């Protein structure tokens, strides 16, 4: 079985409900995963927007959420998660804080890519790493990855 990532509140390629954005409650959406490959020791979740600031002329990827050392015993994250699974650590988003920051695009419809990585190791305590620092650390340890893409445009 392949690694899969899904959400009960939006389908792949569909709109993320406003509740999970800066125009709503700005809470994390519920996520579920299954099909962890043999040998998975931890999971990493990175949520980012490759369309910032304008999908017609993207200049950067804006990071919304960084989590690492999610235990393989976890099968997902609940809505508005505040208590992370035991051992899970948070990295920095592009607001320079740990935790979730919801979609808040300044212009146009943006894609929000939820990437889940299965690793063959549990990482040491990296503090609150940036996405780039975490990606460099996980690169040699990725067994499998999957993604879920949602979209959002303000003022719908």
User: Which residue's entry shows tokens 């996520």?
Assistant: 31
Q: What's the total number of domains in the chain? A: 1
Task: Give the strand order in the sheet containing 4-6.
Answer: 4-6, 31-34, 76-77
Q: What is the pLDDT of residue 156?
A: 59
Beta partners for residue 150, in sequence order: 112
Which of helix, strand or coil describes residue 140?
helix
Convert the pLDDT of each residue in 52-70 to its tens digit. Answer: 999 999 999 999 999 999 9
Give tens-digit pLDDT for 116-135.
999 999 999 999 999 999 99
pLDDT at residue 61, as a whole number = 97
Range of the domain at 32: 4-152
Question: pLDDT below 50 — which residues of the chain?
Answer: none
What CATH code is carried by the domain that includes residue 12? 3.90.280.10
Q: Which residue carries 């910032």 as its tokens?
A: 52
pLDDT > 90: what percent of the chain?
A: 97
pLDDT at 1: 77
**% residues pLDDT > 70 (the chain):** 99
Alpha helices in 36-80 (DSSP H): none
Write down the pLDDT at residue 130.
Answer: 98
This model's pTM is above 0.95: yes
In degrees and rounded to multiples of 5, residue 147 shows phi and psi of -145, 160
pLDDT at 149: 98
CA–chain centroid gap for 50, Å, is: 13
């Amino acid at each position: 079985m392949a690694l899969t990532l899904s959400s009960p509140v939006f389908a792949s390629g569909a709109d993320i409900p406003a509740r999970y954005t800066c125009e709503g409650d700005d809470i994390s959406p519920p996520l579920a995963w299954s099909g962890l490959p043999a040998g998975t020791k931890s999971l990493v979740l990175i949520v980012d927007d490759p369309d910032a600031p304008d999908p017609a002329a993207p200049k950067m990827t804006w990071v919304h959420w960084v989590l690492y050392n999610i235990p393989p015993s976890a099968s997902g994250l609940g809505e508005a998660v505040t208590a992370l699974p035991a051992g899970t650590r948070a990295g920095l988003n592009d607001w320079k804080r740990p935790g979730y920051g919801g979609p808040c695009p300044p212009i146009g419809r943006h894609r929000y890519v939820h990437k889940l990585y299965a690793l063959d190791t549990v990482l040491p305590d990296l503090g609150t790493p940036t996405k780039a620092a975490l990606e460099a650390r996980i690169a040699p340890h990725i067994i499998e990855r999957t993604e879920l893409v949602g979209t959002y445009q303000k003022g719908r």
